[in-house]
Structure formats: structure tokens, C-alpha cells
Structure 1
Amino acid sequence: MLNRVILIGRLTRDPELRYTPSGVAVTQFTIAVDRPFTSQGGEREADFIPVVTWRQLAETCANYLRKGRLTAVEGRIQVRNYENSEGKRVYVTEVIADNVRFLESNRDDKRSGGQSERDPFADDGKPIDIPDDMPF
């Protein structure tokens, strides 16, 4: 039997770090993974997949991952259930990650104080003037 999943997507919000009563770190976050096709309206759709990490990996994710960051997650799918306050059985499907790769570095993060900065090298439609006396 095999239960293995690899996902690449962007975080929908900053990870939430918590600790169990025994002091074990656990982090929860959700990644948006694009579907390989478009809807009938021509729009791209995505799946929003909950991810859980434990121990040192949880603390690392909480310290370095941020909303919008491209991330690869490797782990297993787990289905758990519990009874909510109304007495109804609730089923939760999530990925328990044992490996998380940060696919963008902090240098790639264009945010400053939570807001995006304008890329000074973005193509604004104007030609670039390069002098003829360049040394190369």
C-alpha cells in the first residue's frame, strides 16, 4: 500500500503555529494548487489543500513561509473525524507533510511591510537605451 502525495502551490495565508499540551510544535496552512485545465468560462481553477507539519519542520515553516510564497509539500493524506459542538460527525482530509521545500527565497519576496513594491525592471513598453561605449 502506498499513501504519498507531492504538491506545489502558493500559501493562501501565513502558517499558524501552535503547541500541543506536551509542547510539540504543529503548524497548519493551506496551499492553492492550480488545476491542469480551465473552466468552461476559460478561468483557471485551484484546489485549496490543508497541510499540517509537526515538530522542527512546523517551527521552520512558521518562521519562513508567508502568504503567497510558492512551496512544494511532500507527505501523506490523512482523513480524521470528530464530533462538533452540535453533535454532528465532521470529516477532515489534510496532508501531513514530512518535507516542505521553499521554492522562493526571501530575496524573491517582493513584499515590504505587507505591500507589494513595483518591479523596477518590469517591461513598461519603452525601449532600453544602451550606450555604444560599453566595455563588453
Structure 2
Amino acid sequence: MNRVILMGRLVRDPEIRYSQGENSLAIARYTLAVDRRGRRNQDGNQPTADFIRCVAFAQRAEFAEKYMHQGMRMLISGSIQTGSYQNKEGQTVYTTDVIVDDQEFADSKGQGGGTYQNRGTNSYRSDSSGEGGSGVGDGFMNIPDGVEDEGLPFN
């Protein structure tokens, strides 16, 4: 199984390009700075981070172009893809990218401008006012009164 879930901050605004041809395809490339759990730099102050390259296609790329900006904390999931190419000096360069399946803001509206999700071709906004989302603002759905606890999958 090839599945990865990451949470980190955008190092810079996504770079967007469009493929050539009749059916041009949007391609977004961005880098997430993901803190390493339990590791500190040599000074002992700051957590160290990995800088992970991510690639999004089609509607996900357009979403990245429109809504994602440097410094935003993002939650993404996808798969790892490796590759290689020859550089100008003839040396083989190995690459590792995350191909994005899902991407969403990890900060609340007050911290980073709302929570947007982009799953496939659907995108929506959920904010703390309850408009356009679950109605709670904390990412959880309200369970109506009268629903039996026995029907919940996490009992």
C-alpha cells in the first residue's frame, strides 16, 4: 500500500503550470515543511523539518492556485512517487514527490483563513459560523437528539 498523510506549512506559493495540447491540464507543485516529531536542531531550540515536494493535478491544482499561499498550514494525503532524470552534467538525479489526492487547510478561520477541502472535483468551505459545513466549526458533525448510541461505529 502506498499512502501518505502530511501536515505542514507551505514554504512558498504553489507554482502552477498548464500542460500543452487541446486538453490542457493544470499542474501545481509546492513544498511542505513538515516538522520531525521529537527532533531538535543543534541549538536545541527549533524542531527540524523535512521539506517535501508535492504535486497536484487538474481541479486540485486549480484549488492550490486559488486558495493556497506561503505559510498556510495544510493537511494533505496522497501517494509517494519516485523517479529519476539526467541533469546537464550527466549525473542521475533521484526524485521523490507526493502525488496529492486530498488537500485541506489545517488552520481554523481565525488562524489561516477558513477550512477548505478539495476531494476530487468537489470543494467546499466550512467556517466557525456553521455556514457551508458541518455546523459546528470544529470539524465534527452535530448528532441530532434521539439518535441511539448503539448506531455509532465508535461505541
Taking the aligned partners of 2:27 and 2:19, their CA distance within structure 1 comes to 7
1:26 aligns with 27
Q: TM-score, normalised by structure 1?
A: 0.74
Q: Is 1:49 paired with 2:48? A: no
Q: CA offsets, 1:38-96, max 9 Å, x none?
A: 33532311111000000010010111000000100100000011111222111110100
Gaps of 5+ in 1: 111-136
Instruction: Give 1 or 2 for the bigger CA radius of gyration.
Output: 1
CA RMSD in angstroms, aligned pairs only: 1.7
1:104 aligns with 107
Q: TM-score, normalised by structure 2?
A: 0.65
The within-5 A match list for 1:64-103 is 64-103=67-106
2:116 aligns with none
State the structure with bigger RCO (CA 8 A, min sep 6), 1 or 2. Answer: 1
User: Which amino acid in structure 1 is aligned with residue 7 of structure 2?
Assistant: I
2:13 aligns with 14
Taking the aligned partners of 2:94 and 2:59, their CA distance within structure 1 comes to 27
Aligned residues: 109
Q: State the identity as a percent.
A: 43
Determine helix, strand or coil for the equivalent of 2:65: helix
User: Which amino acid in structure 2 is aligned with residue 51 of structure 1?
Assistant: C
